[in-house]
Amino acid sequence: MALTVVGSIAFDSVRTPFGERERMLGGSAVHFALAASFFTDVLIVGPVGDDFGAEHLAVLSAHGIATDDIEHVARGKTFFWRGHYEHDMNFAHTDETQLNVFAEFEPKLSRRSRESQMLFLGNIQPELQRDVRRQSSASFAALDSMNLWIETTRESLIVAIGEIECLMLNDAELRMLTEQPNLVHAARATMELGPEVVVAKRGEYGAVLFTDDGSFAIPGLLLEDVRDPTGAGDSFAGGFLGYLDAVRIAGGHDDRALRQAMAYGSVMASFNVEDFGTERVSSLTEAEIADRLSAFKRLTHFEEAPIVR
């Protein structure tokens, strides 16, 4: 089994109430790939510039991520994002975005990347996502997006959503996309566009899964130290799709596995936010993941008991 991810490979400069970092390795594809690498074989696709060095590649390779489809653009500069968070860390403030090599990016998937069973289309322009989807023979493709594309390229995004199996958006974005204030109605309207699986991400409040079988909701892990939320959604997606790929569920029809995948997504997102950039996830062990999954089960488990009078 294998999982291909296309998205940004970036340098992020981030300031939060708990510190700041300059030009950390980041980007949707990087956060996704690192999280997914604990579960399955991952292939990463995206452009970088001359400033992307061997030490950055090494972070990915050390996790067994195939980097052959990272396209090195000579004389280019890697995508750059600068942002900060106030005390309410559910909301990122963007201070600067340099598309750099991403402005001219034309995805070209190698044969191996095309043949992965699963595909994750990180948050990039919908037309690029469609281009990649056409090249891929994945039986299960998931797509992330953002308010920017809903506002500026709505029609393309809706076509792109019609060509994938799983949509992963923030709950507010799902409401915006469908113009439905109620989340259940928004998810149903989204499924009518094509996807058989819809995941509504809710930041610190967790996430909700919608399929034809019904819905599944989980709170977020309760964390005492949240230092940098950048990449939490991509880490969630990496845990979610990585687990699904590992158990060879290339469709939305195994309710049990989808629920377990949601739990792993939450676990990976919870690690991501505990430190800056990729610092926590890149040094994570499988035992830590297993421990946190158990903690998450304890956090959310209750037994049904009848009314007694």
Binding site for a second copy (CB under 8 A): 38-40, 87-88, 181-185, 202, 205-206, 208, 214-220, 222-226, 243, 246-247, 256-257, 259-260, 262-264, 286, 289-290, 293-294, 297-309
DSSP string covering 89-134: TTSEEEEEEE-GGGGG------HHHHT-SEEEE-SS-HHHHHHHHH
- Rounded to 5 degrees, what angle do the CA atoms 83, 218, 186 make? 75
Minimum Å distance from CB 41 to a second copy?
A: 9
Minimum Å distance from CB 131 to a second copy?
A: 31
Closer Cβ to a second copy, 143 or 186, answer by number: 186
Q: Round to whole Å and give the CA distance between 141 and 129.
A: 10
Minimum Å distance from CB 72 to a second copy?
A: 30
| Region at 206 (left for phi over 0; alpha for psi -120 to 50; beta for the rest) | left
83: enclosing H helix or E strand: strand 79-85
Both tokens of residue 59? 């972070």
Asked whether 48 and 29 are in contact (CB, 8 A), the reply is: no
Closer Cβ to a second copy, 96 or 214, answer by number: 214
Minimum Å distance from CB 3 to a second copy?
A: 12
Minimum Å distance from CB 78 to a second copy?
A: 31
Both tokens of residue 116? 């992965």
Closer Cβ to a second copy, 210 or 276, answer by number: 210
> Among the residues of 45-100, which ranges form H helices?
54-61
Q: Which residues pair with 25 in a beta bridge?
A: 11
Spatial CA neighbour of 273 closest among 14, 65, 8: 14
Helices and strands, number each (H, E), in the chain? 11, 13
Closer Cβ to a second copy, 74 or 308, answer by number: 308
Minimum Å distance from CB 222 to a second copy?
A: 5
Asked whether 11 and 100 are in contact (CB, 8 A), the reply is: no
Closer Cβ to a second copy, 111 or 214, answer by number: 214
Closer Cβ to a second copy, 98 or 251, answer by number: 251
Asked whether 89 and 230 are in contact (CB, 8 A), the reply is: no
Minimum Å distance from CB 288 to a second copy?
A: 11
Minimum Å distance from CB 36 to a second copy?
A: 12
Asked whether 229 and 184 are in contact (CB, 8 A), the reply is: no
Closer Cβ to a second copy, 40 or 117, answer by number: 40
- 3-state helix, strand, coil split of the chain in percent (to 5) is 40, 25, 35
Minimum Å distance from CB 187 to a second copy?
A: 9
Closer Cβ to a second copy, 103 or 222, answer by number: 222
Asked whether 118 and 140 are in contact (CB, 8 A), the reply is: yes
Closer Cβ to a second copy, 130 or 292, answer by number: 292
